């Protein structure tokens, strides 16, 4: 009994230490963003709260536009990936013929490094006038969003027993109706989870946005680079921007919190 409570004590020490370490950079940057810029560094003076960093970032010329661009391109790419992903997952998993090798090929191309793709996209877009456009940027996001969506949704569809749709098929329901009226509603929590994770991947992208956009389709992370001056970054403004930038993913994760642990592990364990 005594040994057990000692063990529990150590588990708590370990767990709380890990949680504190994990939270620390985020919390520190958030607190820093509320302190005057010249204090950002070693010590935090929590008595000197200040919104100056936020005022400066939010009055930046393209602040709202870039936030809106990030939202539009991430939402658009996510919606396209989820729609196409639902169709493909249905075709891959719910028919008599199984396309296992095809599913693995789709997973394989997800691992192609962005650095290989971004240069050809740049040259292509320069020729066809898609450089600095939200549509063009969104298409490049499909390179990671679509394979991810197909793989995740296929995994969820596979876990649904066939019996549920066999009855409907005998009643004369078409494949299309079975998919949207039966399978999608059953898998909805899982599909939403996939959507939130896909959105976050798009939202956090930096490489494609940096190379393929400049002004008309400027997204938020490249905008923050304006605060990197030759003499060093203006951390106050960057951290204020980063705190604002973190809110949509945070809200998304709170929405799917109950499915989060399954979602993170699932792709790998299944």
Partner 1 sequence: MTGKASRDWRSRGRALAYILPSLLVLALIFLYPLGEAFWISLQRWNLISGVKRWGGLYNYAAIFTDPGFPQVVRVTFVYSTLSVAFEFALGLGLALAVRAGVRRGLPGFALIRVLVLAPLLVAPLLWAFYFRAFYSPQFGLFNAILNGIGLPSVLWVNDADIAIYSLVLADVWQWTPFMFSILLAGLLALPSDVVEAARVDGASGWRILLSIELPMLRPVLLVAILIRTIDSLRYLDLVLVITQGGPGRSTEILNYLAYRTSFQEFQLGRGAALSFVVFALVMVVAGALLRVMWKNANAR
Stretch that binds partner 1, among 49-57, 58-66, 186-194, 256-264 (CB under 8 A): 256-264
Angstrom distance (rounded) from CA 218 to CA 161: 45
Q: Does 97 bind partner 1 (CB under 8 A)?
A: yes
Cα distance between residue 77 and residue 232, in whole Å: 34
Query: How far apart, in whole angstroms, are the C-alpha atoms of residue 235 and residue 36?
Result: 10
Interface residue with partner 1 among 6, 102, 128, 164 (CB under 8 A) is 102
Nearer to partner 1, 15 or 36 (CB): 15
Among the candidate windows 56-64, 89-97, 129-137, 183-191, which touches partner 1 by CB under 8 A?
Answer: 89-97
Show the tokens assigned to 37. Answer: 């810029």
Figure out which of the listed residues 1, 3, 21, 46 binds partner 1, where binding follows CB under 8 A. 21
CB of 146 to partner 1, least distance (A): 6
Buried b (16+ CB within 10 A) or exposed e, 239-261: bbbbbbbeebbeebeeebeebee
Q: How far is the CB of 227 from partner 1 (least distance, A)?
A: 9
Quick one: 186 or 200, whose CB is closer to partner 1? 200
User: Two tokens at 120?
Assistant: 């050809």
Q: Is 121 in the site for partner 1 (CB under 8 A)?
A: yes
Q: At what angle do helices 184-203 and 235-255 cross, to 10 degrees?
A: 170
> Per CB under 8 A, which of residues 211..240 are in contact with partner 1?
211, 221, 224, 232-233, 235, 238-239
> Distance between CA 192 and CA 252 in Å, rounded?
10
> Given candidates 46, 61, 120, 231, which one binds partner 1 under the rule CB under 8 A?
120
Paired strand residues for 229: 232
Name which position in 170, 229, 230, 231 contacts partner 1 (CB under 8 A): 170
Could you say whether residue 265 binds partner 1 (CB under 8 A)? yes
- The half-sphere exposure of 63 on its side-chain side, counting CA atoms within 13 A, is 16
Specify whether the CB–CB gap between 99 and 162 falls below 8 A. no
Residue 250 found at the interface with partner 1 (CB under 8 A)? yes
For residue 246, the minimal CB distance to partner 1 (Å) is: 6
The footprint of partner 1 on residues 172-211 (CB under 8 A) is 172, 175, 179, 200, 203-204, 206-207, 211
Q: What minimum distance in Å lies between the beta carbon of 222 and partner 1? A: 9
2 scored as a contact of partner 1 (CB under 8 A): no
List binders of partner 1 among 66-85 (CB under 8 A). Answer: 84-85
Query: How far does CA 175 lie from the centroid of its chain?
Result: 31
* Alpha-carbon span 32 to 45, nearest angstrom: 9
CB 121 within 8 A of CB 214: no
Q: How far is the CB of 219 from partner 1 (least distance, A)?
A: 11
CA distance 26 to 43: 16
């Amino acid at each position: 009994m005594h040994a057990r409570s000692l063990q529990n004590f150590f588990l708590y020490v370990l767990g709380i230490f890990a949680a504190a370490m994990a939270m620390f950079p985020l919390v520190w940057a958030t607190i820093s963003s509320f302190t005057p810029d010249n204090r950002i560094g070693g010590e935090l003076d929590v008595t000197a709260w200040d919104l100056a960093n936020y005022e400066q970032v939010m009055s930046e010329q393209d602040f709202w536009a870039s936030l809106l661009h990030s939202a539009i391109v991430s939402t658009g790419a996510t919606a396209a990936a989820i729609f196409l992903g639902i169709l493909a997952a249905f075709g891959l998993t719910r028919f008599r013929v199984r396309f296992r090798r095809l599913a693995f090929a789709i997973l394989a191309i997800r691992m192609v490094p962005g650095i290989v793709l971004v240069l050809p996209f740049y040259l292509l877009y320069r020729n066809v006038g898609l450089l600095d456009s939200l549509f063009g940027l969104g298409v490049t996001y499909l390179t990671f969003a679509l394979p991810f969506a197909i793989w995740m949704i296929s995994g969820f569809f596979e876990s649904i027993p066939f019996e549920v749709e066999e009855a409907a098929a005998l009643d004369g329901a078409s494949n299309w109706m079975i998919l949207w009226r039966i399978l999608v509603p059953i898998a909805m929590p899982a599909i939403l989870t996939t959507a939130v994770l896909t959105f976050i991947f798009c939202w956090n992208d930096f490489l494609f946005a940096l190379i393929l956009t400049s002004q008309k389709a400027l997204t938020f992370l490249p905008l923050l680079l304006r605060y990197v001056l030759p003499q060093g970054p203006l951390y106050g403004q960057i951290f204020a921007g980063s705190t604002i930038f973190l809110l949509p993913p945070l809200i998304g994760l709170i929405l799917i919190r109950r499915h989060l642990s399954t979602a993170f592990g699932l792709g790998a364990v299944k």
